[in-house]
Structure 1
């Protein structure tokens, strides 16, 4: 039996950090709106947002070298790094607001302070890192960053990495103590608990099978209740598709013009996780290296201190893999099923252009455990195979679309696709993803609810004091916000004082 008259204001598809963030923002702005969530798995934050399925880095461009590129004249372009840092500050402010108003509690369960470091070897790379440090450290957002190519200093910063290192090659690192480790799975679960207590209807084990527009302009979703086997129909004025890798096929079902000529390429990830507590205790930082020549940006190797279930862990990776699934719990037919008449040329063009990526993925898939250990030993020379286990991380679907750069261009960021009338929006793409969830959801609001933004602005500014401003251009405001959020989120260490 089908129920055909379930009307609501907002439907969120997917119970990940993106839907959780959008739902939480909307509940503050318009508490009277009815919101329904549909998630095909049994609980919140089980796919991309899960703590074992992502790197857990509070991405603020403090250590990720792929956000700072070298210009032809040798100078360093830091514009992308500034942009990503600004976006992460929005998330910090919103989380701080939620904690301050007791909407979520115990911030130490989802965010911890951890130094962020970049580490390079070789004369050319050391010169690049020094120039990067000089360009970033004069910007208020990166205040407190240190650079060292002194072996004694590096042994103090990263003893596990320096122990047993015999290479005479130049080595250097930057370190900044304002970095964070974020457990996005724990955060997602907290946000959904908050939404549930605010009368948001959350339906787990509900798989969305189809989406179509009704004659009166609403969006109707056909949902399979996996608990009962019943097919349900629900309609809403606004639909958000936040299903991680599963968003693209659902976006295609809407039929909106903006969903055409977009494809997706799935990449899976593996991490090595340390099972020896003595080794874990010897390292306290997130240390990002440089991607190898020809490797894609998402392959940057990093050795991460993580806090999962309030326990300190140590992970190294990612190693890329290939699976045709768009989600870990997806189907082997996902990739083939996403190829449509309107995007087949785009997909084929990407295949021709991205031969280097294909070659890289084949090499990664063929890696033996010992080969992975060899890569780890570039970071930890004395690493022992018996101390490390393999963990399969989440699936990421990289967006492929036609751009000014040509047909079938692979995108490595996070992208919002919305209908021209603002009635539906979908989130596609990968890193920096969850770290910038608040910025991304503000973009959704601006695209989909432009008529409300003026009346919502005072409340948005209460939740996110820097809304509409660039903190890099307002150092005193940044200092104030940084110190306040650090205190609220339990990140307080050395207070930031702008000089």
Structure 2
């Protein structure tokens, strides 16, 4: 590991050692061993911000249980396209992780991933939507193992903590997929970064990037960074900004026309957490509900089994919270400093056209402990306040951009920002984020290095022959991938 010194030149410089940055570093260090690749991380370890296990849901978002990815039309029909695309992306990620695990490059897979069923939970009118969702999804090979039930006995068998002793006061239903996972992205990120370093990538910790500027004569990027009290200058042919919530301010410092009108709004989250063994024994799944009527999709509650550092917990939430920081360990002036002449109109327009979203956030900030317990009891009817503690999750920045001339709060997904000369790229957005990390990085590399990517893909396919295959259209390839992933990641697939 190097410490800042004199100005140095890199072929590729990656800003941020989270799941995206560590994935890109590992891929490039393997595919281009002759390149000098650097990774700059502001914190003292890799994967300590959004990738940290307590700062995300660890769901391994795969479209198996999230209502958000299968929106219902006014006529009650369901469009499965987003769920299919997200599951395909997740399968790209697990293929890569399985490939590295098979070669002993990630250590024990149980230290970062394990099988945990994914369930959807519906009440009232949402039970009809869930039934339709199941019908639409289970018709596809990707979701052919998903089950649906409204039978009380089956529900008690699947989810004892939620349904044993529940009074039959309303219609309820659930789906269950055995292909779900719980992922400790913090542990995975540290393993990916260690693998990248072993392949030649240079990781520099506690190095905060302050600005980016391109030399118009050489097209090189000049990066100004600080380590402790020392300023440092670096240059790079290609820069990838993978700094999570810190990405937008860095792209703004580079004065990119691609982000001139883009703004960001930080969203913090709170969860209720328990390590009570009796409660954990009764809930061996991740269960996603649906938003209450009139609330935005971001409000979807879920009750998750989590395994971090070998210990089991249950987490319920999220509950909204307020912070102007763009990162959990960011600065109080992050939001204020991100407002520019270019994006002020976008932000104001989005506030006017998304009053329901703003109202929801205000309501969440004012939520009382009694109200949080009431929300928990929708999932755990006999929950006791003394069994649960309130914890703060990570920060994420909701992207706000112009669509058809108006400011719009971007929905779920991660967007690739790429300069016209393809010398700088950045990732904006959130969920499904980490679950789609490998596919997103490969997309970024394909767009950034179109002349090299076909050769890279051929190299990767030697060990991952189905990489790039649309698995939903090829059941034989899907079966092969599931077998490979199940064997090397020790999953019940």
TM-score, normalisation: structure 2: 0.97
Q: Unmatched 5+ residue regions in structure 2?
A: none
- For the residue of structure 1 that corresponds to 2:52, the secondary structure is coil
- After the TM superposition, which residues 34-433 of structure 1 pair with which residues of structure 2 at under 5 Å, given as runs? 34-122=36-124, 124-214=125-215, 215-226=217-228, 229-404=229-404, 406-412=405-411, 413-433=413-433
1:12 to 10, 14, 23: 14
SS of 1:12's equivalent in the other structure is strand
Identify unmatched segments of 5+ residues in structure 1.
494-499
The answer to whether the 8 Å contact 1:163/1:380 transfers is no
C-alpha contact 2:20 2:242 (8 A) present in aligned 1: yes
| Deviation string, structure 1 residues 145-180 (Cα, Å, up to 9, x no partner) | 111000011011111001332242111000011100
**Contact 1:93/1:465 (CA < 8 Å) preserved in 2?**
no
Q: Deviations over 1:413-467 (max 9, x none)?
A: 2111110111001111111110000111011111211111122221132354333
Distance change >3 Å, CA 108–CA 168, structure 1 → 2? same
Deviations 1:327-384 (A, max 9, x none): 1111111111101111111111111111111110111111111211110001000000
- Structure 1 residue 275: Cα displacement: 3.2
In 1, are the aligned partners of 2:23 and 2:193 still within 8 Å (CA)? no
- For the 8 Å contact 1:270–1:317, the answer to whether it is kept is yes
- Within 1, Cα distance between the matches of 2:202 and 2:419? 25
Q: Which sits farther off after the overlay, 18-27 or 287-296? A: 287-296
Q: Please state whether the residue corresponding to 2:54 is helix, strand or coil.
A: coil
CA–CA distance in 1 between the matches of 2:361 and 2:371? 15
**CA contact 1:93–1:463 (8 Å) conserved in 2:** no
Q: How big is the alpha-carbon RMSD for the aligned residues of Structure 1 and Structure 2? A: 1.3
Give the conservation status (yes or no) of the 8 Å contact 2:33–2:200: no
- Asked if the contact 1:284–1:305 (Cα under 8 Å) also holds between the matched residues in 2, the reply is yes
C-alpha deviation, 1:298, in angstroms: 2.4
* Equivalent pair of 1:117/1:173 in contact (CA under 8 Å): yes
* C-alpha separation in 2, matches of 1:48 and 1:151: 38
State the Cα deviation string for residues 84-103 of structure 1 (Å, max 9, x = none): 00000000100011111222
- In the TM superposition, what whole-angstrom CA distance separates every residue of 1:241-298 from its partner, at most 9, and x where no partner exists? 1111010000111112112111001100111001322111111000000012232222
Aligned mates of 1:120, 1:45 — CA distance in 2: 34
Q: Tell me how far 1:3 sits from its aligned partner.
A: 5.4
